[in-house]
Structure 1
């Protein structure tokens, strides 16, 4: 096929972590390009300090995601990061790292997946530049080049990217993250992925055949301001 899969995501969106196996399956579809659009759920004024209230709010969602998809949430996440009141969730930091990836020879989606794994499975602080630099290095990026690229994009460039992503979300009529849309011949078709969560192979087969997409309303997403 010759098409583009647009993925509006946020690094701190648990349901985007739930969708990660679907995106991995999409990477294996010949002729399909994947474009990432970071939505900034916890960027700017929405950046969030870890607190008992946040922990109590996200854990039921995380447990549901784990049960539905088999995605791993580690002990260091539940009992470490989510109990660390010094930790801050700032989407702009990892989004900037993902934006730097292509110039460093790293696939942007692979960068996102590595950040998600570090956050949810390992309980790392992915709003810290040192953590992001280490993740980039694991994927083959040279750390000095990563820092230079990250600083060149941090601030106004990342803010513009988030604004553009939110405009696309509005254009598609999406309610939050994750929102996916398939573009072919200049036409965008928003996809409801709820029926595919936990069924990556089925999603891959649909992309290859591109039959009619499910149209049922999805409750499996984070709003633009939080999960």
Structure 2
């Protein structure tokens, strides 16, 4: 059976940060599953994040946010360059895409780095021994790779009937299942059983 996991997210979205351990749990349980990590580019410097949202994420998940990330709120994060980098990784270095996302999130939510500059993102690339092309380090426009992914996201959102992020979908055979990630934010490992039930249905 050829199965794929699609994770629609934004690297600078606190809810996406809380849902990423679910992706990791599924990837560990099903190493042959294809991961499609699709950055939606939601935060472009014009969306405000406030402390109330972070408190809601902490209440509904196992994630805790560093005080140095929370205290400056409200602020307007910009994930444009991260969207370009992760789109390249999803297409050209898929085996490292999840680790890249986790490190970007750690730097942003735990170390309180903006993760919107070439220097910040290149530091992670060097850590992973990745060599992305210069085109991914644009902060004023999305790359072609990122735009293609966003079109795929738009098309898929038309099918599932929601634009909410994050979204976690399981595709296998002719089936497309929207997994209710909210049920597993406090116990990410539990989603593995849900995936097993879907695949064996």
TM-score normalized by structure 1?
Answer: 0.75
For the 8 Å contact 1:9–1:16, the answer to whether it is kept is yes
- The reply to whether residue 122 of structure 1 matches residue 111 of structure 2 is yes
Choose the corresponding residue for 1:48, options 13, 37, 46.
46
For the 8 Å contact 1:29–1:207, the answer to whether it is kept is no
1:1-227 aligned at under 5 Å gives the runs 2-30=2-30, 31-43=32-44, 47-48=45-46, 54=48, 58-80=50-72, 82=73, 89-101=77-89, 103-104=92-93, 107-141=96-130, 145-148=131-134, 150-151=136-137, 154-210=142-198
Matched residues, number: 197
For the 8 Å contact 2:103–2:124, the answer to whether it is kept is yes
How large is the Cα RMSD of the aligned pairs? 2.7
Separation in 1 of the partners of 2:66 and 2:37? 26
Measured after TM superposition, the shift of residue 72 of structure 1 is 2.8
Residues 59 and 110 of structure 1: CA distance in aligned 2, closer, same or farther (over 3 Å): same
Measured after TM superposition, the shift of residue 109 of structure 1 is 1.7
Residues 11 and 151 of structure 1: CA distance in aligned 2, closer, same or farther (over 3 Å): closer
Specify every segment of 5 or more residues in structure 2 that has no aligned partner in the other structure, as ranges: none
Secondary structure at the counterpart of residue 126 of structure 1:
coil
Residues 3 and 72 of structure 1: CA distance in aligned 2, closer, same or farther (over 3 Å): same
Measured after TM superposition, the shift of residue 62 of structure 1 is 0.9
Separation in 2 of the partners of 1:99 and 1:68? 28
Residues 185 and 106 of structure 1: CA distance in aligned 2, closer, same or farther (over 3 Å): closer
TM-score normalized by structure 2?
Answer: 0.84
For the 8 Å contact 1:29–1:208, the answer to whether it is kept is no
Specify every segment of 5 or more residues in structure 1 that has no aligned partner in the other structure, as ranges: 214-227
